[in-house]
Structure 1
Amino acid sequence: MFKRMFVSAVVAGGVAGFLAAALHFAFLQDRLLLAEQYESGALIHFQAAPAMGHDHAAGESADHDDAANGEAGHDHSTPQGAVDGDGHSHSHEPSGGSLGRNGLTVMFDVLVYVGFAMLLIAGFGAAEATGRRIGALEGILWGLGGFAAIQLAPAMGLAPELPGTPAAALGARQVWWWMTVLCTAGGLGLLAYGRGMALAAAGVALLALPHLIGAPEADGYAGVAPPELAAEFAARALGIGAIAWAFLGWFASRLWSDKPA
């Protein structure tokens, strides 16, 4: 039994990890590299606009075209970049990272999803021990449950962050993250497998508890990258996680039930 669980977890987690890495390179890598340019100062999001009625000194010309387009007060001498019509400074879309960095990304994703697969397949074994059958549909639901517990629910308080984003103290964030993961997993388990209204109510209470307590917050909102980029990064990161977890649950369930993929 243990060998079957271990082999299934390694195979399913490895394949899901490669899928997650491929999605990362396709949809997230360029956003991450662009954010790092803002963090390093190679790109600048905006600067404070001057007061109305500002007089230009002798020898200094005003850019009337920019003023007409609402761009006055933005830095047009940003290193490696220029300001476009929305007031954001861009040079070009960053190219992919180095080979070593990309290799570490793939290795990290594979190792992480192998660990996720071990947790998932251990859950399969516990469910089957109570007489529950794990098929392809159940596997997908288990995978989405894992995504909800480990990524989605914590992101409601601690969203995926770009480099250079201020955050609360690391220890407090780790404590809240673990509490949220455990409460969400426990709540979903009670809702899915509990019998009676009392257990269902306990499951709902567990789901709500960490969010009623609230995640630790930084002293204020700040950051060097545009908020639009931060929102896009968070949405893509969660989307990739949902796809990879659903695939992991489906593939692990097929291996677990010894059915052909």
Structure 2
Amino acid sequence: MTKHVLTGGLIAGLVAGLFAVLLQLTFVVPLLLEGELYESGDRVHFGTGGPESIAGAPAIDGEMMRHAGTLAMSLVSWIGFALLLVVGFALAARAGHSVDARKGAIWGLAGFIAVALAPAMGLAPELPGTIAAELGARQIWWSATVVLTAGGLAAFAFGKGPVAVFAGAVAIALPHIVGAPTLDTYFGVSPPELSAHFAARVLAVSAAIWVFLGAVAGWLWARPAPT
């Protein structure tokens, strides 16, 4: 069982990580690089110059190596998410629940809700140059939101009776009732349209990767373990 978990998690994480790199390079990194132009002052919101007049634009190519390192860390992260997902499969199997590619995709969707969507309700994905609340407080709120949302979804899926449903609903709602750490006013040098576009793309890409990860992991899990 342990070998099956490790093998399935590593393979699914690697495949999903490569898929994540492809989507991020295509949809997320271009907006990230554009946001860095505003952060550095090469492009100014409400400025008079168009993109063709920006002296800092050619430096975008030089930034790709730095972002390649970030994407490599993303690959490692998705392998970690895959291992956690497959451990969840193992626990569900012990309770008598089967997992295949279709059910794995649902697991992946639940992972997206817990890790990306629910935290984004309080702490949306941010472009470079965005000023936010103290990092430690945001990390604590984000971690608590992930754990409580995952627990609440598990209560919905595997709990029995109205008590489990009520407890799950309370767990999911609690971080948002408390509220994420925020500043008293808004800051930032990037246009709000660009920030909104970036946040939407990050969430959409994350949803696609999580569902893909769950489907691949579920398909691998349903295959017979090697003898």
2:107–2:214 contact (8 Å) kept in structure 1: yes
Q: Which residue of 2 aligns with 1:151?
A: 116
For the aligned residue pairs, the C-alpha RMSD in angstroms reads 2.1
1:30–1:95 contact (8 Å) kept in structure 2: no
Q: Which residue of 2 aligns with 1:37?
A: 37
* Deviation digits for residues 97-120 of structure 1 (CA, Å, limit 9, x no counterpart): 545324313311210000000110
Q: Pick closer, same or farther for the CA change 1:99–1:39 going to 2, 3 Å.
A: closer
Q: Which residue of 2 aligns with 1:217?
A: 182
Gaps of 5+ in 1: 47-74, 83-89
Q: Pick closer, same or farther for the CA change 1:133–1:225 going to 2, 3 Å.
A: same
- The whole-number CA distance in structure 1 between the counterparts of 2:66 and 2:168 is 41
TM-score (norm 2): 0.92
Q: Which residue of 2 aligns with 1:53?
A: none
Gaps of 5+ in 2: none
* 1:113 and 2:78 matched: yes
1:43–1:80 contact (8 Å) kept in structure 2: no
* 1:76 and 2:53 matched: no
TM-score (norm 1): 0.81
Which has the higher Rg, Structure 1 or Structure 2? 1
- Give the number of the structure with larger relative contact order, counting CA–CA contacts within 8 Å between residues 6 or more apart: 2
Q: Which residue of 1 aligns with 2:213?
A: 248
* 1:137 and 2:109 matched: no
Q: Pick closer, same or farther for the CA change 1:200–1:248 going to 2, 3 Å.
A: same
- The whole-number CA distance in structure 1 between the counterparts of 2:122 and 2:7 is 35
- The whole-number CA distance in structure 2 between the counterparts of 1:24 and 1:94 is 19
* Deviation digits for residues 200-245 of structure 1 (CA, Å, limit 9, x no counterpart): 1111111110000000102311110000000000000000000000
State the 1:81 CA deviation. Answer: 3.3
Size of the aligned set, in residue pairs, is 224
Q: Pick closer, same or farther for the CA change 1:165–1:118 going to 2, 3 Å.
A: same
Q: Pick closer, same or farther for the CA change 1:224–1:99 going to 2, 3 Å.
A: closer
State the 1:92 CA deviation. Answer: 6.4
State the 1:2 CA deviation. Answer: 1.2
Q: Which structure shows the bigger proportion of residues in helix conformation?
A: 2
- The whole-number CA distance in structure 2 between the counterparts of 1:238 and 1:41 is 27
Percent of paired sites with the same residue: 46
